[in-house]
Amino acid sequence: MSKIDTLPIEEDSVANPARSSGLAFDEETFRRIGYQVIDEAASYLNGIRERPVWQSMPDNVHKAIREQELPAEGHPFEETLAFMKHMILPFPQGNGHPRFAGWINSAPAHAGVLVKPLAAAMNPNCGIGDHAGQELERRTVQWMMELCGFPVEGSAGVFVSGGSEANFTCLQAARQWAAQVDGWDVRAEGVQGMHRPFVLYQSDQGHFCIRRSVEAMGLGHMAIRIIPSTSSFQMDVERLRQQIVADWAAGLRPFCVVATAGTVETGAIDPLDDLADLCDEQGLWLHVDGAYGAFGILDEHVAPLYKGIERADSLATDQHKWLSVPIDCGCALVRNGAALRAAFSLTPPEQDEHEPWLSEYTLQRTRRFRALDVWAIIQSAGRNGLAEAIANNNKMALLFAHLVETQDDLELISSGPLSIVRFRFAPPQLRNKPLPLDQLNKAVAYEMQQRGRAFLTSTRFQGKEALRACIVNYMTTEADIQAIVDETLYVGRKVVSRYS
């Protein structure tokens, strides 16, 4: 008999402490409440079309949330569920609704919702250990590479919190690589030493998270050279070349070009192949920010625009955008897997006693089981299902742009190649009056959101306030697109009539 078998164990001392603390439920309760939770989730998802896209929280709800007292004693979970049902679930951000086109926030794919309790029940730390969570992540990350046309052999990647962190992770690899090329170690020395100042390049359409990454890396955002874009909102490669050459000549250290495959403002895709040529020629790292658009490559109509993505040194992707993975999930992919590891690892590869843990490839050590959602969604949709949904979003954006063009009161600013449409409510009598038009478009977005029939946002683009429709919801139909355009016209005319 082993020692442990001889220990006196009282039934109650095993069963009760956790239960009386409220941290565990008995099995019957867990199942009963669990079924209720699933029922709530099913009703939420299936009833989404019938509810307002967005509604503001009434005062009593604000109050009920803000003034909640920290409970000294636990409550039955049924009470918690009832609170969620009445005070939380009716007030979503709006994404998930097929007429929500405000930000690039998609609806959650159902398989991703359903595996959440299982991931939480297992609760593995996917940064360390030898378990199925890490194994599944390694394979699912390779699927990400395959989906985006990024080479698998020799590459490495990790799931992270989203596009911002994916870019940050890749840029750290780029910087570490550049220092190593120059014979020093930026992780050891930091950026205070007597080395040539790093500079990197991004177009004027690039995302602000690059600036935040560069600031966080201690380079200072003056290290970013903003390269003008062409009339199609793509980075101007010739202007980029001139800037790189001038920076080398000035004694700086150009190290990375940040291209974008799917800009946040218009969905433009930078000329990746030309940029890869230039990076080869100048000895720079080519990073592609594909947070919004990398998976657009699955739409065969636009796939040729991604030529060159397979030559990128790194690629940031966002599963919680176009793969409909429930927030949060991004993925950093690096062509030279050793370079990604070199940016984070504390264990020299020669000391490995087992396959390196994923925490060697990222800042985060304890990491949730992100791969399970991504894997389950791909299992249920397959590459073809994902491609169909993405291609349909792009088609809906084309329809949107067409409808805008047929309306005298609307002005199309940009559309394609992906699923973002930029436009303004601009009735002919106001076309030459910039100030009222700016205010008008802000008011249109605001009023539309309040009415809850559709959801757009407005931002400044090229010096003008403009509406932006981002179509990334797999449920959005032609009728939804027509409804969003109709709602824009209705609200716009109503606002104009109020002021005239």
Ligand X SMILES: Cc1ncc(COP(=O)(O)O)c(C=O)c1O
Give contact residues for ligand X (rule: CB under 6 A). Answer: 104, 162-164, 207, 209, 260, 263-264, 289, 291-292, 318, 330
Pick between residue 270 and residue 299 the one whose CB is nearest to ligand X.
270
Q: Is the dihedral of CA 188, 192, 193, 196 positive or negative?
A: positive
Q: What angle do CA 107, 92, 53 make, to 5 degrees?
A: 75
Question: In the numeric block, which tokens belong to residue 51?
Answer: 């509810």
Least distance (Å) between residue 325 CB and ligand X: 11
Least distance (Å) between residue 8 CB and ligand X: 53
> Distance between alpha carbon 188 and the CA centroid of its chain, in Å?
31
Pick between residue 332 and residue 443 the one whose CB is nearest to ligand X.
332
Least distance (Å) between residue 295 CB and ligand X: 12
The residue written with tokens 């490495």 in the block is 156
Pick between residue 104 and residue 275 the one whose CB is nearest to ligand X.
104
Cα 157 to Cα 98, 130, 233, distances in angstroms:
32, 18, 29
- Edge to edge, the sheet with strand 224-227 lists 156-160, 330-334, 314-318, 285-290, 253-260, 198-203, 224-227
- Edge to edge, the sheet with strand 410-415 lists 410-415, 420-425, 464-470, 457-461
Least distance (Å) between residue 222 CB and ligand X: 21
Least distance (Å) between residue 425 CB and ligand X: 23
Pick between residue 318 and residue 360 the one whose CB is nearest to ligand X.
318
Pick between residue 274 and residue 289 the one whose CB is nearest to ligand X.
289
Which amino acid, residue 268? A
HSE-CB of 74 using CA atoms within 13 angstroms: 11
Cα 456 to Cα 95, 394, 480, 490, distances in angstroms:
11, 17, 13, 14
Determine the residue with CB nearest ligand X: 163
Least distance (Å) between residue 457 CB and ligand X: 12
Pick between residue 52 and residue 293 the one whose CB is nearest to ligand X.
293
How far is the C-alpha of 291 from the C-alpha of 289, rounded, in Å? 6
Pick between residue 263 and residue 415 the one whose CB is nearest to ligand X.
263
Structural contact between residues 197 and 178, judged by C-beta atoms closer than 8 angstroms: no
Least distance (Å) between residue 104 CB and ligand X: 4
Question: Which residues have a Cβ under 8 Å from the Cβ of 472 and sit 6 or more positions away?
Answer: 104, 105, 106, 321, 322, 393, 419
Pick between residue 410 and residue 472 the one whose CB is nearest to ligand X.
472
Least distance (Å) between residue 431 CB and ligand X: 30
Question: In the numeric block, which tokens belong to residue 98?
Answer: 């097929």
